[in-house]
Each structure stands twice: as C-alpha cells, then as structure tokens.
Amino acid sequence: MKNIFYPCAIAIAILIFASSCGDDSIVPPSATDKITALVVQAENETQQIQSSIDLTAASISIENLALSADYFVDEQHLEPLVKLDTSAQNHPWKKACNNDFLKANGFGQCLQNLNLSESQRETLEETLEDYANKQKPILNDEYQLFVDLKSQYQSRIAADIDSLQRGNIDNQTFQNKMKQYQTTFIDAFSRQRNANKNLSMLSVNYRSALETIQSTLSESQFKQFYVCHKR
C-alpha cells in the first residue's frame, strides 16, 4: 500500500512476527484448506497486534494500523526487498512508514521464488494490483478511525503529563491513568472495528486474492507458496 496509510508524525511500533517455513509434513492436502489456513493466520495476527501508550511523546502508537501485513500487499511486493538505506536515519518518518516491514512479512515475498512464467507473473501483478485497490478504501477508513480515536486520548495524556510535571498528581496515579487509557483505547478501537465490519472485508478480499493466486499457480507452486508463508 502507499504511504498514505501512515502519518509521518506518528511513530509506528514494529511487531516482529516469529516467521518460519511451515512443516511440509502437515501441509493441508486441498487448496481450499491451504487458503483457509492462510486466511485464519492473517486474522489471528491482526487480533494479536496491540496498540500502546507512548509516554515520551504523549501519544498512542499502533503497529501498522494493528493489521496483518498480508492486508497491505500490492504488486510492488513481487519485487525483491531493497536493503535499508542507512541515510534514512536522518528522516525517521521514512522508517515510521515501515513499508519494508510490510513487504518482508506480507505474502507477496513468497511469490518471488516460484520460477514464474511471464504470463503467470503478469497475471499475479494484475491480481495484486486489483487486491490493493480493493483494500485501499478499507485501510483508509481504518486509518481515519485510528486518528479520530487517538485524538480523543492525546489531549488527556498531555494534560496528565502536565499535571505530573507540576506535582498535581504523583507518579503512581499517573501510571494508573496510562494503564487505564491503554485498556479503554483498545476496547474502543475493537468495538468500532467490529461495528464497521472492516476486518471482515479485509479478510474476504484476502481470500479472494489467494483463490486467484491458487488458480494461477501450478499445484506444486501453490504448495511451495503455502509452505513459505505459513508461520
């Protein structure tokens, strides 16, 4: 996805998924079961990502909009990863957008080593472009949801930090407030997500993309793809 989904002013904490190739002996025999396993994997990853309070910046950070990297894949993810440019250290917002992390953890990278024919690659590029276009409005909506909710808590956190610095509240009271904000923010974020059905649509689009990928690849290629991406 394009960097529109990431505000340069917001620090995005990185959740490092424990990634490894799946055990070939337990690969589901049917394509449908393979697809379902990958869909469930993305859904579970999304449920496991947590937002957090950033005390030093008086803000709330969230890992990649608290969504699986699989939902951000586009046709550019068929290209090899570019090594991180060390000069980017002078531009921290480039790292905050963290597109390299999404490319490394999304399913697109597992399509690279399949000895694709020219026609297969063209079809996959079209598939991932279409997939990205379907995900884009949903991801934009999720981003706006996060921004709106975040703004409600940012002023509270800033006020509490000011009270702590002025000595109006002690450190324990301050820490208790931060823990409470953490809990209520996550609960509110979850409730709003469940209400707007965005997670369901992201998952539906992902399954549809996997089905097209499966129909494009040979049986052995799709098995290799599954083994690569199943964590």
Tens of pLDDT along the chain (231 residues)? 443 333 333 333 333 333 334 444 589 999 999 999 999 999 999 988 776 666 666 667 777 788 899 999 999 888 876 643 444 444 433 344 467 778 888 999 999 889 999 999 999 999 999 999 999 999 889 888 888 888 888 888 889 999 999 999 999 999 899 888 888 888 888 888 888 899 999 999 999 999 999 999 999 999 999 999 998
One-character DSSP codes across 55-119: TTTTEEE-GGGG--GGGG--GGGGSPPPPP-GGGGG-HHHHHH-HHHHHHHSGGGGGTTS---HH
Q: Under a CB-based contact definition with an 8 Å cutoff, are residues 27 and 161 in contact? A: no
Domain residues for the domain of 86 are: 3-229
How many beta carbons lie within 10 A of that of residue 9, not counting itself?
A: 9
168 DSSP 8-state letter: S
**Residue 11 exposure: Cα atoms within 13 Å on the Cβ side:** 11
Beta strand ranges found along the chain (DSSP E): 52-54, 59-61
Which residues are registered as beta bridge partners of 53? Answer: 60
- Structure pTM? 0.77
Tally the domains of the chain.
1
